[in-house]
Every structure is written in structure tokens, then in C-alpha cells.
Structure 1
Amino acid sequence: LHTIPLRYGEVTDITADIRLTLYDAGHVLGSAMAHLHIGNGLHNIVYTGDFKFGKTRLLNKANTEFPRVDTLIMESTYGGVVQPPREQAEKELIEVIKKTIERRGKVLIPALSVGRAQEVMVVIANAMQSNALPEVPVYIEGMINEVTAIHTAYPELLSRELREKIYSGENPFTYKAFKILEGKTARAELVESDEPCIIIATSGMLTGGPAVEYFRLMAPDPKNSLIFVSYQVEGTLGRKVRDGLREIHLVVGDRLEIVKVNMEVHAIEGFSGHSDHRQLLAFLANITPKPKRVILNHGEPSAIEALAKSIVRKLQGKVLPANVEIYTPKVLDSLALVI
């Protein structure tokens, strides 16, 4: 691979007159905002990409301090959408798990292998250490273990609290309740056992992976719970179940199986790696120096429009310059940045 890894804050010449510097985006491990210094101070662009301007147990919030910013290109995924505070999401997750364990049921958490799974692991480890949750086995399957090993290898990129725990030998990713599963043989035996447990498995939208098999085995039992902690895309099995479908047709081997969904289904908002509407506005209020123009992208038209209106109403002429330019380009539109 023709790849040159860069540290946050490291200035690199990518052409004769453009310098690139990466800054922490707080989205997933190693995610970065790109600062482009063009010419001899002629123009400076910050491209946020996906970012989270909110501290999580896993990562620090996105950087807001740059040497210069003329144009800011900012994601708008959750423009117009306010998510629950992270503390509330954690509390709800712990409550659902606790109630399921108390009735001797099992919890299935389909999780994205990068970021979301590690966040949930840290929340569960902390809850068990503080006795907010009883200590039961937490089975982990899929690509989660490999990705978690990468997180452990780069503690300097994690949140300050998590980094200090790892340096002091208290790695929550290796908490004693966590058990790594490899292979398919243990799945049916695990589900059929009488012990309450938690299962974290890929994929997060039930589009494949071991989570689908666990769902098939666990769905008929009303003592069990399914907890979604990530967005469910339209058309996925996860979305159908989240929206209330209670009879699922799954192909098992060479036959079609009808699965009755009697387990409890919960969708917990607030664990997203994207900034919600309030956090997007807070990022603009805190960024220094203030941009002369803001270009909103990476969002549905309605989300971009809602965010643009809020910027004009709440920030322009207050924490942003009165003459700041706000652009909401459509696909294939082009903008000429007048220097």
C-alpha cells in the first residue's frame, strides 16, 4: 500500500504549495479532520469528515483549534436531529440489560465492529465494576476482537480516562467477564443454556455475521432482549425488526425458516459517532479562528437545510461573523472559492 501514516498535528507537504495537517475528529479510532494550507497563507480549508463534538467513554471530542480557517466544509448527518445525552443512553442500556438478567434471559447486542462495540464493552465493564450490573458472562464474536486489539495497541488515541486505565494495567477491554468466541459450534449450546449472559456480535444491522444466527436462536424466547445501539438502514433486517416486524423468514442451509420474534426489542439512541444538531452548532461556536464561509455536506437535504437555518438564526452575527457565508451545495454542484 502506498500509505504514509501521519500523527495528529504533523504538518506534511502533499504538493509544492499545499500542506496537510490532521486533527482528531472523535468519530472512530484514528479519525481525522483535514486542514489544508494552500499557498503561502493564501487560503486555509478545514474538511471535517465524520466527527463527534462530544466526549465519549472511548474517545475525546473533536478538535476545534486550528492555525487558520477561511473555509470550513462540515458534515451534517444529524442536522435537525437531537440525540439523547450519552449518560442517558448508557443508563437505558444498563437498565435493559439488568432487567433481562433478572428474569434469567439473554441479551443480544448487534454491534458495528469498529467503535460501537468497544464503546459498549467499556460501558458494560464499568457498570459491572461499579455493581450497576451483576457480573455475568459477556460473549464477543465476529471481527470485534481483532478491532479491539487495535484500540489497545494505540492507547494514545483514546480518551484520557481510558488511556490512563490501560497504562495503569486496568484495561477494560480485557475485563474478566469478557469471553471471546471463535467458530460456530458454541452458539446453540450457549443460547440453550440456563445462564443469563450478554452477547455482542457483528453485524450491527443484522445484515450478516454471527449476530443473525444468535437472533434466529434467541428471538422466540420472551425472556431475551435484542438491543440496537446503532442506526438501522432502511431495508436491513435490523430495521425491519426495530420497526416491529414479528415474523421473519430466514434461509437456514437449504430451507426457509419462519422465526417468531417474541424477545423484547429495544433501540437505544445516543451512541452515535456523529455529532447531533446541538453538537454541530456547538462545534461552530467553539471553533477558532472563525471561518469566513461554511459549506454543509454529508447529510440528507432536509438535515442540511435545518442546520443551515439554525446557523443563520442562532450563530450568525453572534459567535460567527455577521458576514459569514453559508453554502448548501447539491450533488455535482461546484463552488469557486474567491480568495
Structure 2
Amino acid sequence: MSTVDKRLEEMREKITNEVPSDITITEVTYEGPELVVYTRNPKRFAQNGDLIRQLASQLRKRITVRPDPSVLARPDDARDDIMRVIPEEAGVTDLDFHPDTGEVVIEAQKPGMVIGRHGSTLREITQEVGWTPEVVRTPPIESATVKNVRNFLKQERDERRDILERIGRQIHREEMSDDEYVRISTLGCCREVGRAAFILSTPETRILIDCGDKPGAEDEVPYLQVPEALGAGASNLDAVVLTHAHLDHSALIPLLYKYGYDGPIYTTEPTRDLMGLLQLDYLDVAAKEGRAPPYDSEMVREAIKHTIPLEYGDVTDIAPDIKLTMHNAGHILGSAVTHFHIGDGLYNVAFSGDIHYEDTRLFNGAVNDFPRVETLVLESTYGGRNDYQTDQEDSERKLKHVINNTLDRGGKVLVPAFAVGRSQEIMLVLEEAMRNGEIPEVPVHLDGMIWEATAIHSTYPEYLRDEVRDRIFHEDENPFLADQFNHIDGGEEERQDVADGGPCIILSTSGMMEGGPILSWLEHIGGEPDSTLTFVGYQAQGTLGRRIQNGWDEIPIGNGNGRGRGDTLKLKMDVEVVDGFSGHADRQGLENFVRTMNPRPEKVLCVHGDESSTQDLSSALYHEFNMRTFAPKNLETFRFV
């Protein structure tokens, strides 16, 4: 019997001894980080709401209780009983029964009403039918991505259970080494923006944090070939942790599966969905530009199949010697500051990912309160000494001023926007400004992936700022469903109609003008002097957006797509830059994140910024807080223990 099997048998004995004598435990197994307990008496478990909590506390494991398949009510009978328990106003749209695990997936417009206060309705469902309910939200805006991900995971349910069981056994294996060390190796995004990738390693475990591309430089990828990463084989990695879905952090994760990686990806549920959306678009853009994509769509599906979603605040075993906790980063939907607790109190590291410290219209500000942190790996996108952004009110005031001026002269406002994050932030500003009469009510056209990304935001309102969440949850006033918003789904013909029409606002991908429909919009209206091109997000070095900001007015179009030979367009639109809408903290926000961090770290690695930004921030933090700081280069390794 293996060590893992012995531990499972010990767990089963402990649980059997702790539960009342009339509860029978038939099986105990691992599924990923969770301990799954099968019982012939699920109704008795449900009657005692504290029993699972007590077991989880004693065993220091996340526990899921499922009914033994032999005691399940027939799905047809259970369906009627479940619908009697759930309030009608919950808006149940689907019940999906899985007899192999005893789970019933309940899709509802108002999941909170299915869950009940402190889970009371869920317990009542189990008491009535024995099945274990799992609740998901019916997207308020139909989302092809959410639908496809859910259907795919349903189809792959059996294989996914096998994957989770194997991962669970790997997580709970016996530690093999008596040595103790903690190391971080930098594989990308050091003294540069993009291709984020780090290896966190101990004698037991190697974790890859992020694996992205570099905007405007497709040939520059993370240094995955080094021995710490894939140089010694893909099985060298124990897990991947993804901070958020933007391509400079997520684009190359499917490549790992092409190289033979077969392990888990830990991230939040909305990041999983957005990751799939952006990666498939990444492949589509590469094909349209005649570039060979680094992987195919099958690898994207493999990544989704291996993803284990975590909620903010859940402490989760991801290796024998590492626990992971994710916290809101305030950057985009589902973005996370990732906290790693290593060993039995040996060391703690936090990776900021990309953060926004202050509250925005869309998100609560980044969390920086932890039990312990010795080292912080901190983004420095706006870490330069002069990188102070306009405050939010001033930014919104300037945007409304630009819009009013443009619309007054009969022009159109064209906003290149990231599909995820900035677009929804701008949508909230426009919806409120029109509702309050601060700007005229004109059509707001959403092109590219913006509408689909917005649908995903509406599916996960619990990840949004409290006020927005409450509007979607309780007031049936979903701001993303305002009448002014129009999804461009008619391609070039519809774009031509908009270009020939009256004043309007257009939000279009890509945010840095590197391909996508924004180039088509430039062809349609770039020659109109009454219209305005308005930048609201970061433009990386080497991108067309940065070149236009720097004064370019001869724009490659057509076959060139900004990369090769093609026709050129004389840009006659006004060009405006409205700072303050970035999803990144500015210099002051980064300093405040560290200043108010509890506890304050002993060491900070300043990454994800150009050379001057990382060095400026590193120097400032050293002088202000008397801590050890670094502005590492790629391929450096730091040992902390």
C-alpha cells in the first residue's frame, strides 16, 4: 500500500470515529486539493451543518461530502423535490444530475437564493433528496465562452475526475527531502513589460507563476528552456498558478501541454473563462496575420480541463510543502495577488501579479493584508518616479470633455480598449454620464471581444466592486445592459454603416492597436478631422498605439497590419490621451500598497516594468522603508532560506 493510500485509510478511520455512529463512510479519496468523503447517510450530514466544518478544521483539509451512489433518489423524483425547496424567484434554468458523484448542478439566475442564508437551502436540498447540490449562475448576458466551458467540462467530467485524483495524490504525497530552501527564478517580465513567468521552487516542488507573451514582440517568450522550468522535462513542474487572464501573463500556458505538462493550473473561475477566450483569440489573430501559432486550440482545451478554480481567501494545498491563497488584485475580473505559505511556517512569498491599489468603478482595491509575507514580487508598470496618474474623477471629467467636444462637432469617438477590464470600466462611466445627462445619449458600439468579455463580467458579479455587484444582484439594474450599448456583430458591413452614420462612441479591441478590429475602424474613420482617437490604457513600447501617441500620423493599414508592407493612412483624427483608467497602480499606489501592507515584507523584487521603472521603484522602496529591494534581470535566481 502506498503512502498516500495509507494516509487515506487513516483519514477514513479518523472521520468514522468523529461522525455519529449512524453515519456510514464508504470511501475517502482525493480530488485535487480536496478530500472527498462518500457516505450512505448524506441527509444526516446535511442535518448537522457544523459537522463538515469541524472535520475540515480537525483534518486541516478542504472537505466535500457526497452521497454513495447506492442511496440516491431517482433524478426525476429528485428534480421535483428540489424545485419545491428552491424559491421560484431564484430563476432555476437547468438541473444536471451526475449519478457517478451524486452531484446535481443547479443553474439559476439568482444563485444566492438557491444557496440560502449560510447554505441553509443547500442543506435542505440534501436532506430532501440526498444529492449534493452545486450552484452556478445563469449568465444575465448570454456568453458563448461560459456556455462552451461548462459544456466542455461536463463532457470531460470522467477524465477530469481521473486528472483530479492523480493531482490529489501528487499534492498529498510524502515529502522526500530533508533539505530546506526557497528560490525564485525569473523567466520573463524583468526590466520589461510582458512575458511574465517565474519559478518558485523548494526541494520538493516547482511552481510556475504565469506564462505570458510580450505585446509587440512575438518572438520574445519566457525562458522556459532553462533547467528550472521545462529544460529537465515538463514533469519537472508540479503546478502552474495564473494571476490573471491578460495575454502577457496567460498566452503561453497551453504551450506547456504541447511540451508534455499534465499538471494543474490554479486560478479563479472567471480567469479560467477569460483565459480560454483570450487564448483562442490569440490563435485567431496569429492565423489572420499569417504567423504560425505556437499551439493549437486543443491545447487551450487541455489547459481548461486541468484548471482547478479557487475562490479568494481559500487556503489550498497545492503541493506537500506549499499552500496557496488568492486575494483580489483589483486589476481585472478574477485577478489575484497570490500568497504562498511554504513548509511548516518556513517562508511566505506573495506575487502581486498586476494590481490596482485604489477602488475603481469596477473593482475593490487590491488586498494587501496577509498572515505573513517575507518577500513580495511587485509589478512596476508605473513605478517610474514621474508615473503619477490623474485621479479617477479628473480622468472621467476629461473623458466626458473629449466626448462632448467631439460629438458637438458631429464627430465620432474611437477608443482602443482592452476587451477585459478597461472596456467595462469605460462602459460604467458612459452609462452613468448618459443617465445623468452629462454627455448626450448616443450609440456606444462595442467591437471585438468586448461584448463577450462583458457577458463574462455579468456572470461573476461577486468579483466586482460592491456597488456594481449589488446593482446586478439586487436591483435588476445591470448597467451593462443599458440601451445605448450595441454589440457590433455584422462585421465590415455594420462598421461601414456606423462610419456613414451620425455621432457615436466606439470601443474596439485591440487595446494597443496590434491587430483586431481597431485597425478596420482606423480605415473607416481615421481620415475624419472631426473625430477623435482616445487612448485610455497603457501602450507598450513597440506597439502601434505607442507610435501614434508619439506622433505618428502615417499609419500602416491593409496587408501591413502595422507589421509589414501595406498601404498607409494619413491619420487626421484628433488624438487624445486620458490617463487614470489603467488597471495598474501608479507610482503612488505601488508605494501605498507596500506602505500599508500587513505585515510589511522584508524583501521586494520589482518586476514587470521597463528598466528605469523597476530601478526607480526599487530605489524608492529601499530609501523609504529601509527594506532590501531588487530590480532583477531575466534569468536571475534568488534564494531566501
How does the TM-score come out when normalised to structure 2?
A: 0.50
Q: 1:5 aligns with which of 306, 309, 318?
A: 309
Partner of 2:408: 102
Q: What is the DSSP-based 3-state SS (H/G/I as helix, E as strand, rest coil) of the residue aligned with 2:382?
A: coil
- Structure 1 position 139, deviation (Å): 0.9
Quote the Cα distance in structure 2 between the aligned partners of 1:108 and 1:280: 30
Q: Contact 2:622 / 2:628 at 8 angstroms: preserved in 1?
A: no
Quote the Cα distance in structure 2 between the aligned partners of 1:265 and 1:276: 23
Partner of 2:499: 191
Partner of 1:163: 469
Residue 182 in structure 1 maps to residue 485 in structure 2: no
- Structure 1 position 100, deviation (Å): 0.6
- Structure 1 position 306, deviation (Å): 0.9
- Structure 1 position 38, deviation (Å): 1.1
Q: 1:59 aligns with which of 329, 338, 363?
A: 363
Q: Aligned pair in 2 of structure 1 residues 156, 178: CA closer, same or farther (>3 Å)? A: same
Quote the Cα distance in structure 1 between the aligned partners of 2:457 and 2:441: 24
Quote the Cα distance in structure 2 between the aligned partners of 1:335 and 1:259: 49
Structure 2 letter corresponding to 1:329: P
Structure 1 letter corresponding to 2:421: G
Q: Contact 2:329 / 2:367 at 8 angstroms: preserved in 1?
A: yes
Q: Contact 2:519 / 2:557 at 8 angstroms: preserved in 1?
A: no
Structure 2 letter corresponding to 1:213: S
Q: What is the DSSP-based 3-state SS (H/G/I as helix, E as strand, rest coil) of the residue aligned with 2:323?
A: strand
Q: 1:204 aligns with which of 511, 514, 519?
A: 511
- Structure 1 position 73, deviation (Å): 1.6
Q: 2:525 aligns with which of 197, 218, 234?
A: 218
- Structure 1 position 224, deviation (Å): 0.8
Correspondence list, 1:72-151, <5 A: 72-80=376-384, 81-151=387-457
Correspondence list, 1:16-27, <5 A: 16-27=320-331
Quote the Cα distance in structure 2 between the aligned partners of 1:209 and 1:72: 36
- Structure 1 position 297, deviation (Å): 1.9
Quote the Cα distance in structure 2 between the aligned partners of 1:204 and 1:329: 28
Residue 172 in structure 1 maps to residue 479 in structure 2: yes
Q: What is the DSSP-based 3-state SS (H/G/I as helix, E as strand, rest coil) of the residue aligned with 2:639?
A: coil
Q: Contact 2:605 / 2:632 at 8 angstroms: preserved in 1?
A: yes
Please say which of residues 107-116 and 303-312 is displaced more in the overlay: 303-312
Structure holding more helix per residue: 2
Please say which of residues 201-210 and 144-153 is displaced more in the overlay: 201-210
1:196-234 C-alpha deviation (Å, 9 max, x unpaired)? 111111111222222111111111111111111112233
**Unpaired runs of at least 5, structure 2:** 1-304
Quote the Cα distance in structure 2 between the aligned partners of 1:73 and 1:173: 34
Structure 1 letter corresponding to 2:630: Y
Structure 2 letter corresponding to 1:328: A
Residue 32 in structure 1 maps to residue 340 in structure 2: no
Partner of 1:285: 595
Q: Aligned pair in 2 of structure 1 residues 105, 36: CA closer, same or farther (>3 Å)? A: same
Quote the Cα distance in structure 1 between the aligned partners of 2:629 and 2:445: 48
Quote the Cα distance in structure 1 between the aligned partners of 2:638 and 2:414: 47
Quote the Cα distance in structure 2 between the aligned partners of 1:336 and 1:216: 52
- Structure 1 position 138, deviation (Å): 0.7
Quote the Cα distance in structure 1 between the aligned partners of 2:635 and 2:510: 33
Please say which of residues 6-15 and 304-313 is displaced more in the overlay: 304-313
Q: 1:269 aligns with which of 579, 583, 590?
A: 579
- Structure 1 position 134, deviation (Å): 0.9
**Unpaired runs of at least 5, structure 1:** 317-323
- Structure 1 position 256, deviation (Å): 4.9
Q: 1:329 aligns with which of 619, 622, 632?
A: 632
Please say which of residues 269-278 and 329-338 is displaced more in the overlay: 329-338
Q: Aligned pair in 2 of structure 1 residues 44, 248: CA closer, same or farther (>3 Å)? A: closer
For these two proteins, the number of residue pairs brought into alignment is: 329
Quote the Cα distance in structure 1 between the aligned partners of 2:628 and 2:528: 56
Please say which of residues 324-333 and 109-118 is displaced more in the overlay: 324-333
Quote the Cα distance in structure 2 between the aligned partners of 1:232 and 1:77: 11
Quote the Cα distance in structure 1 between the aligned partners of 2:556 and 2:350: 47
Quote the Cα distance in structure 2 between the aligned partners of 1:141 and 1:326: 42
1:131-187 C-alpha deviation (Å, 9 max, x unpaired)? 111101111111111110110000010011111111211111111111111022111
Q: What is the DSSP-based 3-state SS (H/G/I as helix, E as strand, rest coil) of the residue aligned with 2:505?
A: strand
Quote the Cα distance in structure 1 between the aligned partners of 2:531 and 2:624: 45
**Structure with greater contact order relative to length (CA < 8 Å, sep ≥ 6):** 1
- Structure 1 position 110, deviation (Å): 1.2
Please say which of residues 149-158 and 12-21 is displaced more in the overlay: 12-21
**% same residue:** 45
Residue 41 in structure 1 maps to residue 340 in structure 2: no
How does the TM-score come out when normalised to structure 1?
A: 0.93
Quote the Cα distance in structure 1 between the aligned partners of 2:316 and 2:351: 16
Structure 2 letter corresponding to 1:162: V
- Structure 1 position 252, deviation (Å): 6.1
- Structure 1 position 249, deviation (Å): 3.6
Quote the Cα distance in structure 2 between the aligned partners of 1:249 and 1:66: 49
Q: 2:569 aligns with which of 259, 262, 287?
A: 259
Quote the Cα distance in structure 2 between the aligned partners of 1:43 and 1:278: 28
Residue 71 in structure 1 maps to residue 375 in structure 2: yes
Quote the Cα distance in structure 2 between the aligned partners of 1:329 and 1:208: 31
Partner of 2:613: 303
Structure 1 letter corresponding to 2:370: F
Runs of 4+ in 1 over 6 A off after TM superposition: none
Quote the Cα distance in structure 1 between the aligned partners of 2:394 and 2:405: 17
Structure 2 letter corresponding to 1:199: I
